[in-house]
Chains A and B, each alone.
Chain A
Amino acid sequence: MAAVSGLVRRPLEQVSGLLRRRFHRTAPASLQVTVREAINQGMDEELERDEKVFLLGEEVAQYDGAYKVSRGLWKKYGDKRIIDTPISEMGFAGIAVGAAMAGLRPICEFMTFNFSMQAIDQVINSAAKTYYMSGGFQSVPIVFRGPNGASAGVAAQHSQCFAAWYGHCPGLKVVSPWNSEDAKGLIKSAIRDNNPVVVLENELMYGVPFEFPSEAQSKDFLIPIGKAKIERQGTHITVVSHSRPVGHCLEAATVLSKEGIECEVINMRTIRPMDIETIEASVMKTNHLITVEGGWPQFGVGAEICARIMEGPAFNFLDAPAVRVTGADVPMPYAKILEDNSVPQVKDIIFAIKKTLNI
């Protein structure tokens, strides 16, 4: 009551002083941004910053994107920067690589990475290997992005994880964001990178909101490619993951914390070049390791991590063999009960952790 009468009597400056004081007392509302919005923001900012950047793919322009990731971009930037292509991945991926060689900075969207198999020759033979084959003469500053891995009920041809396949190739950089901050920072870094970068998004994560720290709201917010992040500190076991399973690992960690087991959860963020140093440092602290991924076990991301740990200083710190948690070694079945058992669940992660710790 007194404040109101004060407002009426005092001049403007003192009123604004009152208002300012009010803001100090209340906590700032946290900014929640979905992964989809974060990618959209990242692309929008880079399109604005550099006119050589453009986006092409199926339904990216007038349809606003098959998964609405490019919503509003065509309206803002028009036909020359946001381009709808016919349904031929081999064709438009080839055009994109050519554009990159000629000096533009294309973002080539695959509606899902399953469709990139149609164009994989362009990704590997035309993009990844060219800088090397040309003796450092011809760079290919291209980004291949799109949803990767399992979705829900889309069956065998639409659920494959390509992290291992693309991570296998020298000349490519491969990133795999988990949350909104990852998504924005990594897509911006990918676009600014002069090398071909594969950005493995996840359809099930697009609609998930995360708190967006204030640094992430800056137009120059970048996450370095090749650096992992420790999402949760722990002392008993190192849990390494990428993309959506990072969330499952954090869930498992919360459950186990109640039993006195503290997990250190590492979000890889980049598949290639892999930040093995962060993983090694963690293993040297916790003496135990599990890896968690959505892809198939054979020749997978976890297999590579285990091999590298054996080759490095961390091996001597292991008190138990490293364990991999992966997708089941089958083409993705359609029926729900079978699909649920073909992807790593929180219970599988908890089981693997306890087995490793011999509990």
Chain B
Amino acid sequence: MRKMLAAVVSRVLSGVTQKPASRVLVASCNYSNDAMFAIKKCDLYRLEEGPPVTTVLTREDGLRYYRMMQTVRRMELKADQLYKQKFIRGFCHLCDGQEACSVGLEAGINPTDRVITSYRAHGLCYTRGLSVRSILAELTGRRGGCAKGKGGSMHMYVKNFYGGNGIVGAQGPLGAAHNMAALWKLPCVFICENNLYGMGTPVERASASTDYYKRGNFIPGLRVDGMDVLGVREATKFVADYCRSGKGPIVMELQTYRYHGHSMSDPGISYRTREEVQNVRRESDPIMLLKDRMVDSKLATVEELKDIDVEVRKEVEDAAQFAMTDPEPPLEELAHHIYCNTPAFEVRGANQWIKFKSLS
């Protein structure tokens, strides 16, 4: 079989000179359209059964997840660069390492479902539909940013995505939210992206119980390997179905890891070792895990994944260029969008003689 293939390939190669060799090779390569994979069993709380332990990944889905995760990864690394070059100011919380969480989540829900999150939001901004361009331009505070430069890193919104939120402690009333969701059987999934640290404090020092999936008390929960995009997808489908069937709220804990520190002002190695970070990269990197699966089961070749890498790099580079060169919002827009659906009114500046107009 292989000799035949090689013969076909060499004949085609000698015959066709314009087409690049790699494309010809792909066309005659024997790859599968889908493959079945085993996923880790989830820890369950107050649940009789959990998500399936196997799943089928189609080539199309696999390539899409790979591209999305790689895009989030490259976008975050570009944000790191832009921050160090002082194009991005203030706070910048990066989620590289946690790509499987946002991509897996999106794979398991509908575009019409609503999502809200915390400040480590760039990944979700992308998976929920914002372009890399509009995200990076928002980080650099330009008029082409998704919030017109007014919001910055933690305040990006798009349809069915209610943004990041800068106030961590606003999750304190979570208990209250749990209570009302359970009381009224609201179809609500409470997701905890457990990256093992609360800023600079490891979870053991900040939580009496680190089994976050059990913290819903009377609300059932499951704990998922958040580095496996397929595991996250299946768990998400499971919890979404659970809610949609009217059973009420559910908690999902995604065990994941962030390579960067809490934010760009945190080196991230004063409370954990470099070895720990390297280890996770080596053993559990979500992009690497998907790539290995796809290549090993012939869903894709190394080369075509490399091609995707190149395309993603270009997309992110172009977006960064835009983000660095797009002009800042005009001063006249300082007071726009204070209220909605309200006739224009005057807004006071630094003293009573400086006035801005507020448009809705």
The answer to whether A and B come from one shared complex is yes
Chain A: how many interface residues by the 8 Å CB criterion? 50
User: Nearest Cβ in chain A — how far from B271, in angstroms?
Assistant: 7
Q: Which of B166, B206, B271, B356 contacts A87 (CB 8 A)?
A: B206
Q: Which of B149, B205, B349 contacts A334 (CB 8 A)?
A: B149
* Interchain CB contact under 8 A, A328 and B350: yes
Q: A338 in the interface, Cβ–Cβ < 8 Å?
A: yes
Q: How far is the CA of A343 from the CA of B349 in the complex (A)?
A: 8
* Interchain CB contact under 8 A, A345 and B329: no
Which residue of chain B has the shortest Cβ distance to A337 in the bound complex? B328
Which of B25-33, B35-43, B193-201, B314-322 is the contact stretch? B193-201
Q: Digitize B153-179: 1 where CB-to-A-CB distance is under 8 Å, 0 elsewhere.
A: 111000000000111111111000000
Q: A342 in the interface, Cβ–Cβ < 8 Å?
A: yes
Task: Identify the interface centre among A84, A114, A119, A327: most chain B CB within 10 Å of its CB.
Answer: A84
Contacts of A37 in B (CB 8 A): none
Q: A76 in the interface, Cβ–Cβ < 8 Å?
A: no
Q: A56 in the interface, Cβ–Cβ < 8 Å?
A: no
* Interchain CB contact under 8 A, A334 and B91: no
Contacts of A154 in B (CB 8 A): 90-91, 152, 166
Interface of B is mostly: loop
B72-101: which have CB < 8 Å to A?
89-91
Which residue of chain A has the shortest Cβ distance to B142 in the bound complex? A335
* Interchain CB contact under 8 A, B152 and A155: yes
Q: A251 in the interface, Cβ–Cβ < 8 Å?
A: no
* Interchain CB contact under 8 A, A323 and B351: yes
Q: Digitize B250-292: 1 where CB-to-A-CB distance is under 8 Å, 0 elsewhere.
A: 0000000000000000000011000000000000000000000
Q: A182 in the interface, Cβ–Cβ < 8 Å?
A: no
* Interchain CB contact under 8 A, A157 and B205: no
Contacts of B149 in A (CB 8 A): 333-335, 338
Q: B347 in the interface, Cβ–Cβ < 8 Å?
A: yes
A334-359: which have CB < 8 Å to B?
334-338, 341-345, 348, 351-352, 355
* Interchain CB contact under 8 A, A86 and B151: no
Q: How far is the CA of A356 from the CA of B149 in the complex (A)?
A: 35
* Interchain CB contact under 8 A, A328 and B150: no
Q: A158 in the interface, Cβ–Cβ < 8 Å?
A: yes
User: Nearest Cβ in chain B — how far from A340, in angstroms?
Assistant: 9
Q: A312 in the interface, Cβ–Cβ < 8 Å?
A: no
Q: A152 in the interface, Cβ–Cβ < 8 Å?
A: yes
* Interchain CB contact under 8 A, B334 and A84: no
Which residue of chain B has the shortest Cβ distance to A117 in the bound complex? B167
Q: A212 in the interface, Cβ–Cβ < 8 Å?
A: no
Q: A62 in the interface, Cβ–Cβ < 8 Å?
A: yes
Q: Digitize B325-358: 1 where CB-to-A-CB distance is under 8 Å, 0 elsewhere.
A: 0001101011100100000000111111110100
Chain B: how many interface residues by the 8 Å CB criterion? 49
* Interchain CB contact under 8 A, B169 and A338: no
* Interchain CB contact under 8 A, B151 and A87: no
Contacts of B168 in A (CB 8 A): 87, 115
Contacts of A63 in B (CB 8 A): 199-201, 270-271
* Interchain CB contact under 8 A, A333 and B334: yes
* Interchain CB contact under 8 A, A62 and B271: yes
Which residue of chain B has the shortest Cβ distance to A334 in the bound complex? B152
Q: Which of A326, A330, A333 contacts B351 (CB 8 A)?
A: A326
Contacts of B338 in A (CB 8 A): 330-331
Q: B226 in the interface, Cβ–Cβ < 8 Å?
A: no
Q: B51 in the interface, Cβ–Cβ < 8 Å?
A: no
* Interchain CB contact under 8 A, B353 and A355: yes
A301-341: which have CB < 8 Å to B?
323-331, 333-338, 341
Contacts A58-B199, A59-B199 given: A328-B348 contact, CB under 8 Å?
Answer: yes
* Interchain CB contact under 8 A, A335 and B167: no
Contacts A86-B207, A153-B152 given: A336-B141 contact, CB under 8 Å?
Answer: yes
User: Nearest Cβ in chain A — how far from B331, in angstroms?
Assistant: 6
A35-75: which have CB < 8 Å to B?
58-59, 62-63, 66
Which of A12-20, A88-96, A129-137, A235-243 is the contact stretch? A88-96
Contacts of B141 in A (CB 8 A): 153, 334-336, 338
Q: A209 in the interface, Cβ–Cβ < 8 Å?
A: no
Q: Digitize B123-140: 1 where CB-to-A-CB distance is under 8 Å, 0 elsewhere.
A: 000000000000000100
Contacts of B205 in A (CB 8 A): 84
User: Nearest Cβ in chain B — how far from A305, in angstroms?
Assistant: 15
Contacts A63-B270, A328-B334, A338-B333 given: A345-B142 contact, CB under 8 Å?
Answer: no
Q: How far is the CA of A330 from the CA of B150 in the complex (A)?
A: 11
Q: How far is the CA of A214 from the CA of B168 in the complex (A)?
A: 42
Contacts A86-B198, A338-B329 given: A155-B151 contact, CB under 8 Å?
Answer: yes
Q: How far is the CA of A157 from the CA of B118 in the complex (A)?
A: 12
Q: Digitize B89-126: 1 where CB-to-A-CB distance is under 8 Å, 0 elsewhere.
A: 11100000000000000000000000000000000000
Q: Which of B91, B150, B169, B334 contacts A115 (CB 8 A)?
A: B169
* Interchain CB contact under 8 A, B331 and A341: yes
Q: A281 in the interface, Cβ–Cβ < 8 Å?
A: no
Q: How far is the CA of A155 from the CA of B167 in the complex (A)?
A: 12
Q: How far is the CA of A329 from the CA of B338 in the complex (A)?
A: 10
Q: Which of B89, B143, B201, B207 contacts A62 (CB 8 A)?
A: B201
* Interchain CB contact under 8 A, B152 and A338: no
* Interchain CB contact under 8 A, A338 and B353: no
* Interchain CB contact under 8 A, B170 and A330: no
* Interchain CB contact under 8 A, A328 and B90: no
Contacts of A344 in B (CB 8 A): 350-351
Q: Which of B155, B331, B348 contacts A337 (CB 8 A)?
A: B331
Q: Which of A89, A114, A331, A352 contacts B172 (CB 8 A)?
A: A89
Which residue of chain B has the shortest Cβ distance to A91 in the bound complex? B172
* Interchain CB contact under 8 A, B329 and A335: yes
Q: How far is the CA of A351 from the CA of B333 in the complex (A)?
A: 23
The 14 listed contacts between A and B (C-beta, < 8 Å) are A84-B201, A87-B168, A90-B169, A114-B166, A115-B168, A118-B169, A155-B90, A155-B152, A330-B335, A334-B89, A334-B138, A337-B329, A338-B334, A348-B349
- B residues neighboring A (CB under 8 Å): 89-91, 138, 141-143, 147, 149-155, 165-173, 198-201, 205-207, 270-271, 328-329, 331, 333-335, 338, 347-354, 356
A-B pairs with lowest CB-CB distance, top 3: A153-B89, A153-B90, A334-B152
